[in-house]
């Protein structure tokens, strides 16, 4: 395993998650917050501190634009997940941790961000 891959795996040990609860999804937001802490991860206070953007619920067009704006503020490597019900929490967080180690995905994301800055 190369140095970059090793560092990527080490970074998933203490993931910082910005939890965004949409109207009507407060219980899911609270559950995600609790599970993030239970995993030993950190609930981020701002986009600049986050590795993962966890959106709890489905957004309409106006909220989707606001969430896209928050997403644009997360530094890379970054992962965005959506959680619509309690049964998705563990699998969504597990998927986020796995995606944080995907170096090709993050290179493509960085390239895309640089093209559209």
CA distances from 48 to 15, 88, 99 (A): 13, 25, 19
Buried b (16+ CB within 10 A) or exposed e, 31-49: bbbebbeebebbbbeebee
- pLDDT of 105 reads 79
- pLDDT of 8 reads 56
DSSP designation for 57: S
Beta-carbon-side half-sphere exposure of residue 21 (alpha carbons within 13 Å): 14
Q: What is the pLDDT along the chain (117 residues), one digit of tens a residue?
A: 666 555 555 555 689 999 999 999 999 999 999 999 999 999 999 999 999 999 999 989 999 999 999 999 999 899 999 999 999 999 999 999 999 999 887 787 777 776 654
Q: Which residues, other chains included, contact 112 with Cβ-Cβ below 8 Å and sequence gap of 6+?
A: none
Q: Which residues, other chains included, contact 88 with Cβ-Cβ below 8 Å and sequence gap of 6+?
A: none
- pLDDT of 111 reads 72
- pLDDT of 1 reads 60
- pLDDT of 5 reads 58
Beta carbons within 10 angstroms of residue 10's beta carbon: 10
Beta carbons within 10 angstroms of residue 77's beta carbon: 20
């Amino acid at each position: 395993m190369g140095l970059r891959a090793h560092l990527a795996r080490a970074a998933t040990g203490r993931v910082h998650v910005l939890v965004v609860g949409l109207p009507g999804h407060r219980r899911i937001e609270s559950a995600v917050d609790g599970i993030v802490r239970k995993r030993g991860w950190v609930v981020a206070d701002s986009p600049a501190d986050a590795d993962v953007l966890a959106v709890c619920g489905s957004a309409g067009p106006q909220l989707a634009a606001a969430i896209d704006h928050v997403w644009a503020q997360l530094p890379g490597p970054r992962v965005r997940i959506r959680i619509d019900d309690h049964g998705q929490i563990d699998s969504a967080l597990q998927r986020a941790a796995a995606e944080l180690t995907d170096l090709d995905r993050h290179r493509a994301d960085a390239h895309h961000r640089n093209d559209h800055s």
